[in-house]
């Protein structure tokens, strides 16, 4: 384990908040790994200890890694963020741009028709359905969290633009879509608190529960989930790998591209989550709904049940928190983050 003495109070706050299950915390400060700690257990029965290289499903943190792959492709000249999606995906019927996809502005957060069982694991079924879908609002006019469709939309554009699968691109950045093995990732413990019944509108129900495979009990622990590419949700990583990536983004991307990627492109009422959210181009920015940092210039992403990654360019840190015990927090911070971030910013 690594704990710089200057961060001992942060680590103490982390350990106090783990509770049932296990978690890991990693912090990079000014390019140096200053915290790499873990605590608790990684299996369903609570007998196997969390280890240094224990990876866990980090859910929507996957979006931030996929977005980073998109920005790297743009930097290499393989992808034009201002281009129409049809420039890469001719079958796509919605008149929107790649930037709109990244900023949750394309109007495609959900599919209206009920999808058959197994669609979640079928890349072609999902991308064909999205290519044919009518937008829920005029693209570019409003924003709404593309909770799961984000991965297929951005992933398919990247696949066509680069000729490489999304899982190849994210693997280079420290995140595995699904779980290739060897070994097993941390067991994802059952969600605590109300779930789908708390979603505010029909659009949100479809966004989070169509295909219905998304809400099957224990889906994140199944072989089908771990074998698939679901780039918005089934990424697996260690906290250390995520903190390392976000600690290096300032070196990976040019200052101009990083500034554009992390500037607010969507800010205000979210059509899906029915609350105030802010997004850059693929990165979730701190908001009233997810206030993970007091600095509005911080950028990263939160994940279902409590996972978190962000970089604060003013403080010079990157932080990742990866739990396997899932807690439902419809609004506000995860109760385990607050002591950690309070200690960081104290």
Question: Which CATH number belongs to the domain containing residue 159 in this structure?
Answer: 3.40.710.10
- Determine if the peptide bond prior to 211 is cis (ω within 30°): yes
Domain holding 161, by residue range, is: 2-345
- Rg of the chain in Å (alpha carbons): 19
Report in angstroms the alpha-carbon separations of 7 from 102, 206, 343.
Answer: 34, 42, 8
Q: How many residues does the chain have?
A: 346
pLDDT digits (tens, 9 = 90+) for 161-201: 999 999 999 999 999 999 987 788 999 999 887 555 555 56
Indicate if 60 belongs to the active site. yes
- Cα dihedral sign, 306-191-221-159: negative
- pLDDT above 90 (res 144): yes
Instruction: Decide if 175 contacts 181 (C-beta within 8 A).
Output: no
Q: 60, 62, 106, 266: which one is catalytic?
A: 60
Question: Domain total for the chain?
Answer: 1
Instruction: Decide if 264 contacts 278 (C-beta within 8 A).
Output: yes
Helix or strand holding residue 72 (H, E)? helix 61-75
Distance CA 330, CA 226 (A): 26
Q: Which of 141, 144, 85 is nearest to 110 (CA)?
A: 144
Distance CA 307, CA 217 (A): 19
301 — pLDDT class (breaks 50, 70, 90)? very high
3 state SS of 154 = helix
Instruction: Decide if 202 contacts 286 (C-beta within 8 A).
Output: no
Percent of the residues in the chain that have a pLDDT greater than 90, as a whole number = 92
Weakest mean pLDDT among 124-128, 213-217, 224-228, 314-318 = 213-217
Provide the token pair at 200. 């505010």
- pLDDT above 90 (res 101): yes
């Amino acid at each position: 384990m690594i704990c710089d003495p200057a961060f001992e109070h942060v680590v103490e706050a982390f350990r106090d908040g783990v509770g049932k299950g296990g978690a890991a915390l990693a912090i990079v400060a000014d390019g140096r790994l200053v915290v790499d700690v873990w605590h608790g257990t990684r299996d369903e029965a609570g007998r196997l200890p969390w280890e240094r290289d224990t990876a866990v499903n980090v859910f929507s943190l996957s979006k931030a890694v996929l977005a980073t792959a998109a920005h790297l492709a743009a930097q290499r000249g393989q992808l034009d963020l201002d281009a129409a999606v049809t420039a890469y995906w001719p079958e796509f019927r919605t008149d929107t741009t790649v930037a709109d996809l990244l900023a949750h502005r394309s109007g495609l957060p959900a599919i209206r028709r009920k999808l058959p069982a197994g669609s979640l694991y079928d890349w072609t079924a999902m991308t064909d359905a999205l290519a044919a879908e009518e937008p829920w609002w005029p693209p570019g006019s409003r924003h709404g969290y593309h909770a799961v469709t984000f991965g297929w939309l951005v992933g398919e554009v990247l696949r066509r633009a680069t000729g490489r699968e999304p899982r190849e691109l994210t693997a280079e950045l420290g995140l595995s879509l699904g779980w290739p093995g060897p070994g097993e990732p941390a067991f994802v413990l059952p969600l605590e608190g109300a779930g789908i019944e708390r979603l505010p509108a029909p659009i949100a129900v479809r966004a989070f529960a169509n295909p219905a495979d998304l809400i099957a009990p224990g889906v994140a622990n199944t072989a089908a989930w771990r074998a698939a590419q679901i780039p918005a949700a089934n990424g697996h990583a260690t906290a250390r790998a995520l903190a390392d990536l976000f600690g290096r983004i300032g070196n990976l991307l040019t200052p101009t591209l990083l500034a554009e990627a992390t500037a607010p492109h969507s800010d205000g009422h979210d059509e899906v989550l029915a609350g105030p959210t802010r997004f850059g181009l693929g990165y979730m920015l701190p908001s009233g709904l997810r206030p993970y940092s007091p600095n509005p210039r911080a950028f990263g992403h939160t994940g279902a049940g409590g996972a978190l990654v962000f970089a604060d360019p003013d403080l010079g840190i990157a932080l990742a928190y990866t739990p396997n015990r899932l807690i439902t927090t419809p609004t506000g911070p995860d109760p385990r983050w607050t002591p950690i971030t309070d200690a960081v910013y104290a």
